[in-house]
Structure 1
């Protein structure tokens, strides 16, 4: 017994020593970031569909806010942010685009709505949300959980109602609800989508058109024909 006891002690020492070498120093905790939206400021915005002769009269004011990660400004944003989880949110990017024509001497900077961004409060990572058939002019996304409902423009033309999920490669549900482009279309093109929690479903309609309701089951959605509620 004594021989076994003393033979075990060096073995344990060797194992402990090798374990310490393989482990090295304890891993440093991941760095956390401070993600904030700055105060809003008013900027002029001219809708892309504004008549060329009346662009000045049709110019309106919108509010934009700077998106900061730590103390560095990363983007300009517009509209309200939507919390997806307790650590991530989506917000729409605001683009400042040079509207100068070839041959013009001075730059003309204009504001336009851009894509949606997914922001991680812990890592500070910012990624563009890929939304099928999203159109900056037509699409006004209404979020619920990690799903977005909006009107879009199909790849072959046509106005489509779309339900998309963050991270999905294609739409959860899609249905053509009108023609596009339209010479004299309503503004907004579609009414705001209306979500319901239980059962989870969403109703969408083109302004002046019939409503369509989509029942969302897991990551799939079923169009409920004729269950659209108010059609006006």
Structure 2
């Protein structure tokens, strides 16, 4: 549910591929990020969606669901950075994926290049 603070109007929002088992959401302004599950239940996706848009601005496959029902890529709650606007998805094993959000587009950030530049 989305609440308009000025009017008190409630509206339902659609979160593509949202699954409470694999999805821990994180908000930044009108963007929401989470790990979602495919309709067939076999693939885990990193998803960034914008309120008011029908399709997510990012939907990247990050792993498969194993036969035992556990995801190969179980991510924690995504984290947001403000300048520049970035979202990071981190798996339980420590693998990190970072994306830069620019309006309705998303770019992949190479963390290894940034780490080498800061040394």
Q: Structure 1-normalised TM-score?
A: 0.43
1:129 aligns with 2:13: yes
Compared CA separation, residues 184 and 209, structure 1 to 2 (3 A): farther
Match of 1:216 among 94, 101, 118: 101
1:192 aligns with 2:77: yes
Cα distance in 1 between the residues matched to 2:58 and 2:101? 8
- Shift, 1:184, TM fit: 6.1
- Shift, 1:155, TM fit: 2.9
Matches of residues 19-58 of structure 1 in structure 2 within 5 Å?
A: none
- Shift, 1:141, TM fit: 0.5
Matches of residues 1-232 of structure 1 in structure 2 within 5 Å?
A: 117-156=1-40, 157-180=42-65, 183=68, 185=70, 189-208=74-93, 210-224=95-109, 226-227=110-111
Q: Report the number of matched residues.
A: 110
Select the structure with the greater relative contact order (CA < 8 A; seq sep ≥ 6): 2
| Alignment check: 8 A CA contact 1:130 1:167 kept | no
Structure with the larger helix share: 1
Compared CA separation, residues 124 and 130, structure 1 to 2 (3 A): same
- Shift, 1:209, TM fit: 5.4
Which ranges of 4 or more aligned residues in structure 1 deviate by more than 6 Å?
A: none
Larger Rg: 1
User: SS of the residue aligned with 1:132?
Assistant: coil
Q: Structure 2-normalised TM-score?
A: 0.80
Cα distance in 2 between the residues matched to 1:209 and 1:185? 17
Cα distance in 1 between the residues matched to 2:60 and 2:35? 10
Q: Which runs of 5+ in 1 are unaligned?
A: 1-116
- Shift, 1:191, TM fit: 1.4
